[in-house]
A and B are shown apart, each in its own frame.
Chain A
Amino acid sequence: MAGETLTASSYIQHHLQNLVYGNHPVNGWGFAHTAKEASEMGFWAIHVDSMLWSIGLGIIFAWVFSKVAKSVTSGVPGGLQNFVEVIVEFVDSSVKETFHGKNSVIAPLALTIFCWIFLMNFMDLIPVDFLPQLFHLAGVQYMKVVPTTDINVTLGMSLSVFFLIIYYSIKIKGVGGFMGELTLQPFGKWMIPFNFLLEGVGLIAKPISLALRLFGNLYAGELIFILIALLPFWAQGFLSVPWAIFHILIITLQAFIFMMLTIVYLSMAHEDH
């Protein structure tokens, strides 16, 4: 590992470090070689590994689904179409149960969220050392393969959802209506500052909780995989396999929760009080 002696903490730190490209105040544009350098780059740096994996997985999703969409038939479906239809049907029924308005964005949005987050989470099931070691041999120092263990990724998605919430709130209720919702509840017009504080926190909490829930679950899961990988080899199988099986549930559940909450938040944005 970059010439250092391999200790448990350096192993863990190495695994949790993204591959960062950015403008270092001293070294100029380039990849960060240490975690310290990465944090010194500030906001104008990018996690190359997170971006590549998330976009790559998004392209896989888009490719598979658009391939089916191109040859889709209302007759007898083939294997892949069946698989895709099950997911689409599942997302469609989830959206219909919760959201009763008319909106052509929410269902495709929910489908994208569910499939994409599931695929990104799925990377967690690949043995923790496998891909980083491959990239290490190719000369890449850091490689974090699970994009959803990067807070930037989850926050990026939840903030997008947050902007959609605000957009639809204003579109459906108007600026006045939205403002009224924020300030005139739950205690009437004599308590406007207090109401605003309450509702504002509630509103801000939506994207933050959405991002942190997904990030926290996957980060913790990844960390436990890393800790298991530190154990002697005979113990790894005992622990890694049950945890991986349990994790199948978690990654699906987290993708589902993110999708479901997005639908709920957007349907709340559509509701007129």
Chain B
Amino acid sequence: MNINLTLIGQAIAFFVFVVFCMKYVWPPIIQALREREKKIADGLQAAERAARDLTLAQEKVTLELKEAKQQAAAIIEQANKRATQMIEEAKDSSRQEGERLIALAKAEIDQEKNRAKESLRAEVAALAVAGAEKILESAVDAKAHSKMLDKLAAEL
């Protein structure tokens, strides 16, 4: 094995290749690698953030759903209450109306009865007078006996 110029030649070639690698090979490739690393890191971070946002949104949705349900329940309850109230009111007013009608009818009936009584009384008085006339065979002076007749009519 001879040590000779090859040694220096190889050292020069080595130097040239290292400088070439340093200038044109290493920086662009390593930069691309770093960029990709950053991209992936950003992507992962974004995914994480999105997942967090999703959970938040879901929580919000559940909350709003719950609220909406509560509201709906309250509205339904109110409506029910109102309906019962209206039914009660209607019942009340109809009862009052019925009572009024009944009272009216009763009054009319009373009136009718009184009137019938009056006319019956008058007729009875006339019949009594006629009967008495027949019995007595003489006319009864209605004027002279009106006092007695009234008494009679009042007794009926």
Contacts and interface: CB of A to CB of B under 8 A. Distances in A.
A265 to B, nearest CB: 15
Nearest to A215: B1
Given A74-B36, A111-B26, A150 B6 contact: yes
Interface string A51-90: 1001100100110011011101111000000001100110
Contacts, number: 134
Interface in A153-196: 153, 155-157, 159-160
B31 to A, nearest CB: 8
Interface residues of A, number: 51
A69 B6 contact: no
> Which of B1, B9, B25 has the largest count of A CB atoms less than 10 A from its CB?
B25
A159 B11 contact: yes
A10 interface: no
B4 A43 contact: yes
Contact of B7 (A18, A41, A58, A159): A159
Interface string A97-114: 000000011011101100
Contacts of B39: 74
B28 A109 contact: no
B33 A89 contact: yes
Interface of A: 18, 20, 22, 38-39, 41-47, 50-51, 54-55, 58, 61-62, 65-66, 68-70, 72-75, 84-85, 88-89, 92, 104-105, 107-109, 111-112, 116, 147, 150-153, 155-157, 159-160
